[in-house]
Amino acid sequence: MLDLLLRDSLPPDLEALAAINNFTDRVLRFYYLKEEKEVVLDEDELVQVAEIALKFLLNFKGPSGFKVAAAFIVALASRKPFKTPLPKSFDPIRAEQNIALGIMESLYWLNGAELMTQEGNKNIENPIHFSDHFFTELVQATSHACQNFHGNFQDTDDRAKVCLVALIFEAIAYKSNPHLPYKANPIAAELLTYLSDASEVLPSQKQIDSAKFTA
């Protein structure tokens, strides 16, 4: 379904419906495998999810896969089209179903995805995964982020929510795929100065006194 968000507009109804059906089929299969035989879904709200996320992403020129995933998850969490609680196996973390399904669908879509970087196109080769604790915290953080989200790019809160969730996905993708991060990181290299061992570059007391902060 996330492929719908890489366009300039939603495709014709039949094509959009096919993409949405593929997503809902994966959700139904997931519930069925967990012995949950019925899933209640508001299809109109699911279409609104695509519309809201696309409206937001159109403000970017070639949004990254991480921003696409983030906009999809936050939009899905804000509209809540899936009404059936998650299977009982999720009871220990009490995850909101729309957020959890959005995260799982995003991971499904991102695995193997091609990313456009300043160093050329690179693929996510290794599956993205994380611990139960990370999953729980991500669901809770997204739950707060989705409050009053309307996909309004001019709203600084909406932009911040999507960008922060995107950064989370980028970080975990990079952790699982060491070949993805850029080799040239001039700003990150500056951090080494700040983090360097003080004993190696310790200035004299005279230098410290001359560099004191002034109010």
What is the sign, positive or negative, of the torsion defined by CA atoms of 105, 139, 168, 72? positive
**Where exactly are the structural domains of the chain?**
2-185
For residues 110 and 68, give the distance between their C-alpha atoms in angstroms, rounded to a whole number: 10
pLDDT band at 24 (very low <50, low <70, confident <90, very high): very high
pLDDT digits (tens, 9 = 90+) for 30-60: 999 998 888 999 999 999 999 999 999 999 8
Q: What angle do CA 93, 99, 103 make, to 5 degrees?
A: 95
List, as one string, the DSSP characters of 152-164: -TT-HHHHHHHHH
pLDDT digits (tens, 9 = 90+) for 82-112: 999 999 888 887 889 999 999 999 999 999 8
Element (H, E) at 122: strand 120-123
